[in-house]
Amino acid sequence: MIEQLRRERPLVVCVTNDVVKPFTANSLLSLGASPIMSGEKSEAADILKHAGALLLNIGTCTEDKIPLYEEMARCANEYNIPVVLDPVGYGASAFRRNLTDKLLGEYDIALVKGNAGEIHALSGREAVSKGVDSIIEGNTLDIAKDAHEVLNVPVLVTGEMDAYADGKEKMTMHNGHKYLEVITGSGCVLGAITAAFLALENKSDSIADAVSLYNIAAEKAARSATGPGTFAAKLIDEIYNFKTEDYNARRVDVHE
Amino acid sequence: MIEQLRRERPLVVCVTNDVVKPFTANSLLSLGASPIMSGEKSEAADILKHAGALLLNIGTCTEDKIPLYEEMARCANEYNIPVVLDPVGYGASAFRRNLTDKLLGEYDIALVKGNAGEIHALSGREAVSKGVDSIIEGNTLDIAKDAHEVLNVPVLVTGEMDAYADGKEKMTMHNGHKYLEVITGSGCVLGAITAAFLALENKSDSIADAVSLYNIAAEKAARSATGPGTFAAKLIDEIYNFKTEDYNARRVDVHE
Amino acid sequence: MIEQLRRERPLVVCVTNDVVKPFTANSLLSLGASPIMSGEKSEAADILKHAGALLLNIGTCTEDKIPLYEEMARCANEYNIPVVLDPVGYGASAFRRNLTDKLLGEYDIALVKGNAGEIHALSGREAVSKGVDSIIEGNTLDIAKDAHEVLNVPVLVTGEMDAYADGKEKMTMHNGHKYLEVITGSGCVLGAITAAFLALENKSDSIADAVSLYNIAAEKAARSATGPGTFAAKLIDEIYNFKTEDYNARRVDVHE
């Protein structure tokens, strides 16, 4: 589906956190998508009109930006554009919990994506969050299934093994590299990439295609990296250089 | 003129978008200029007092930051410091159009710099903008000349062929590399670099020197890059390592 | 102490400037610490409750964010968590001076860290600041001792020779590389790294360990870098790859 993405060049509107903006934009450009970042509520309708997907990442959201997040979600729903929600640090503060719960409660969300700790907490299970990293060990598939049952939206849980659950499908994805855990925004960028795939016309397997592309690119990047700094630059290279046949390395298990 | 720039080390005040701040600051430092970023209106006069140029990039501007942009422009005009305006995504929303039109209408702007789609739209021509990328094909020189005629300010249009027009001079610049189109902020950084050159005392050929330096550095960086991620890092290296004799690769055409 | 840091994995809350957020987060992750960035006042208590240190960097602070800085400092003091203050561009504007003076006057600060120009100005000495770079030449140890005497808080002054002074100890640190001066945020990142070391239990030599680790990593990174762009990526690699025996290259002088 990467060839289709490069042909359609979907516009992905990113309302994302301050820490990951350059990495997110560069990943989308390398992928072949067209990113736009905005912090201005009054332009939501204008820029979403031509968009293929909306990414809402709450990483550095503040009280005064909540109307922005809501207006973006409202316009995306009105135009029937898929919304990917990344509840960064859910569990780290009441502010993040309340914001996420409000967005999930009041708007149609096409995908919730987070690490094990965030999604575990989202399900109402007790979870201790230390910063924006997860300290939950255990089966990401169980966490995804559990969250889908509680929230009734498609859920992607990232970790050493990534897991996805919606009403029809459950799967685990096994590509990736440990360096992804020591670069900031690696999860946030995956959220942006899934948004780009969800923007395509006549899509199928968007999630597996997005996650596998990113993780296989990471495996390739790690081969010549000497640490997480050079890895991050080479990851962008490998997203750009990704070819359909690179999907041959894909390791995805579909579950009952 | 690069030796002069490294001697004078001009202070460039950057009021720019959130996505490109690190890349912009690193490019200016590598060039030999001294960047300062500010989002605080009340310090405009203090920091512009010692400045050589002001960059206004509207990429992630919001309603509440308009007074900041205006106060920065006002102080720069008062101190007679050149202002470079980058109307990122002009055409993507009414908010961006109104802000840009206001800045162009009320302050002295030394240079407007944008891609073909943005500048085409600025001239009042119909243009469809998809995100912050341009989808206008065609002659950037015509677009620059047209915009200069309508706006009566010097105009730089970026693209595969960069073009410049003011009341006296028209030129096209032919260096560069396709990777520049797949890294975020490559145009924004060029805006910052032109601002640094415009800050010099007794300047001439600032635009051609700035654009050519950047594009020749890009050509050199691309030689050992394996994709846009490593390219971006090497571009900073090549700006830093740029020598006067590297200008020998310059391809600039002056037009009637 | 790097092994201890990787075991304890301290949570470092960063209220820092927009230009250096990705670099700061990546440095802390590579180091083995756990960063969280926040711009929301109402979550200060929640996220500081589990934190090991707070970094306050005023680089792109604005009037409306002052209550955020104050609430973060107040909570950190309440929980007895060390606060590192980086008064970026002190001297460049009245706004920056007033904000820094307020934070120093009203909260317990564990460390003030800045370049020679910033710290010189902080001591009430006349200083000319050109952007956020220092143009003060001279002995950083004298500047540190002087500032400590005036402010009565531990002071770290960065430069070609880094210097530290508190009530008990005075030292100079001699590792590093000139590329650190041409990448944005190199000083800001050092502030974050010292915060991570100050977060450790039963600590000693935190400052020398933090500064030396960073500067030795820089020396190693510079060996294979071709300029400041590749250097920045390799610096992250070398922080990640840093081993206890790398401290053998440490050059620290303790002064009377």
Supply the pLDDT for residue B202.
82
| Alpha-carbon radius of gyration of chain B | 17
* Chain B contact present for C178, CB below 8 A: no
Average pLDDT over residues C221-231: 98
Supply the pLDDT for residue C1.
87
* Chain C contact present for A88, CB below 8 A: no
Supply the pLDDT for residue C174.
97
pLDDT 10s digits, B188-233: 999 999 999 999 988 789 999 999 999 999 999 999 999 999 999 9
* Chain C contact present for B118, CB below 8 A: no
* Chain A contact present for C42, CB below 8 A: yes
Q: Considering chain C, what is the average pLDDT of its residues?
A: 94
Judged against a pLDDT cut of 80, whether residue C129 lies above it is answered with no
Question: Of the candidates B18, B130, B230, which has its C-beta nearest A37's C-beta?
Answer: B18
Distance in angstroms (rounded) separating the CA atoms of residues B48 and B72? 8
Name all chains with 3 or more CB-CB pairs below 8 Å to chain C: A, B
Q: Which amino acid is at B34?
A: S
The shortest C-alpha distance from C37 to chain A (Å) reads 7
CA-closest candidate to residue C36, choices A62, A59, A179: A59
pLDDT 10s digits, B70-94: 999 999 999 999 999 999 999 999 9
Among C8, C11, C30, C37, the residue to mutate for chain A (most A Cβ within 10 A): C37
Judged against a pLDDT cut of 80, whether residue B134 lies above it is answered with no
Supply the pLDDT for residue B49.
96
Angstrom distances, CA of residue C146 to CA of C95, C125, C133: 23, 10, 20
Supply the pLDDT for residue A32.
98
Q: Do B229 and A26 touch (CB under 8 A)?
A: yes
Judged against a pLDDT cut of 70, whether residue C130 lies above it is answered with no
pLDDT 10s digits, C21-55: 999 999 999 999 999 999 999 999 999 999 999 99
Angstrom distances, CA of residue C49 to CA of A130, C13, C53: 10, 10, 10
In chain B, residues with a C-beta closer than 8 Å to the C-beta of C115 are none
Angstrom distances, CA of residue C201 to CA of C7, C9, C206: 11, 11, 11
Supply the pLDDT for residue C204.
82
Distance in angstroms (rounded) separating the CA atoms of residues A177 and A238? 13
3-state helix/strand/coil string of C191-244? HHHHHHHHCCCCCCCHHHHHHHHHHHHHHHHHHHCCCHHHHHHHHHHHHHHCCH
In chain B, residues with a C-beta closer than 8 Å to the C-beta of C61 are 40
Q: Which amino acid is at C27?
A: S
* C-alpha B169 chain-centroid distance: 18
Distance in angstroms (rounded) separating the CA atoms of residues B215 and B225? 15
Within 10 A of A42 (CB to CB), how many other CB atoms are there? Answer: 15
Supply the pLDDT for residue B127.
52
Tell me, what CATH number does B110's domain have?
3.40.1190.20
Known binder of ligand: residue A194?
no
Residues found in chain B: 256
Within 10 A of C40 (CB to CB), how many other CB atoms are there? Answer: 21
Average pLDDT over residues C75-82: 98
The shortest C-alpha distance from C19 to chain B (Å) reads 5
CA-closest candidate to residue C165, choices C112, C96, C126: C112
pLDDT 10s digits, C160-219: 999 999 999 999 999 999 999 999 999 999 999 999 999 998 878 999 999 999 999 999
Contacts of B240 (CB under 8 A, 6+ apart): B30, B31, C182, C227, C228, C229
Q: Which amino acid is at C48?
A: L
Distance in angstroms (rounded) separating the CA atoms of residues B191 and A142? 50
Distance in angstroms (rounded) separating the CA atoms of residues A17 and B82? 32
Judged against a pLDDT cut of 70, whether residue C133 lies above it is answered with no
Structural domain count of chain B: 1
Within 10 A of A166 (CB to CB), how many other CB atoms are there? Answer: 18
pLDDT band at B30 (very low <50, low <70, confident <90, very high): very high
The shortest C-alpha distance from A55 to chain C (Å) reads 19
Q: Do B34 and C131 touch (CB under 8 A)?
A: yes
Supply the pLDDT for residue B132.
54
Alpha carbon distance, N-terminus to C-terminus of chain A: 25
Supply the pLDDT for residue A7.
97
pLDDT band at B171 (very low <50, low <70, confident <90, very high): very high
Q: Look at residue A63 and give its three-state secondary structure.
A: helix
Contacts of C94 (CB under 8 A, 6+ apart): B42, B43, B46
Judged against a pLDDT cut of 80, whether residue B138 lies above it is answered with no
pLDDT 10s digits, B44-62: 999 999 999 999 999 999 9
Distance in angstroms (rounded) separating the CA atoms of residues A25 and B184? 6
Q: Which amino acid is at C123?
A: S
* C-alpha C242 chain-centroid distance: 19
Mean pLDDT by 10 residues, chain A (256 residues): 96 97 98 97 97 98 98 98 97 96 98 96 70 61 96 96 95 97 97 98 91 98 98 98 98 94
Supply the pLDDT for residue B225.
98
* Chain C contact present for A230, CB below 8 A: yes
Asked whether the beta carbons of B57 and B86 are under 8 A apart, the reply is yes
Instruction: Report the percent of chain C where pLDDT is more than 90.
Output: 91
Average pLDDT over residues C80-93: 97
Supply the pLDDT for residue A15.
98
Helices (H), chain A: 2-8, 21-31, 44-48, 66-78, 94-106, 116-122, 140-151, 186-198, 206-224, 228-241
What phi and psi, each to the nearest 5 degrees, are found at residue B137?
A: -95, 165
Within 10 A of C34 (CB to CB), how many other CB atoms are there? Answer: 23
Supply the pLDDT for residue A133.
53
Q: Which amino acid is at C205?
A: D
Q: Which amino acid is at C68?
A: L
Distance in angstroms (rounded) separating the CA atoms of residues B212 and B190? 10
Give the domain range for residue C118: 2-255
> What DSSP character marks residue A211?
H
Supply the pLDDT for residue C149.
96
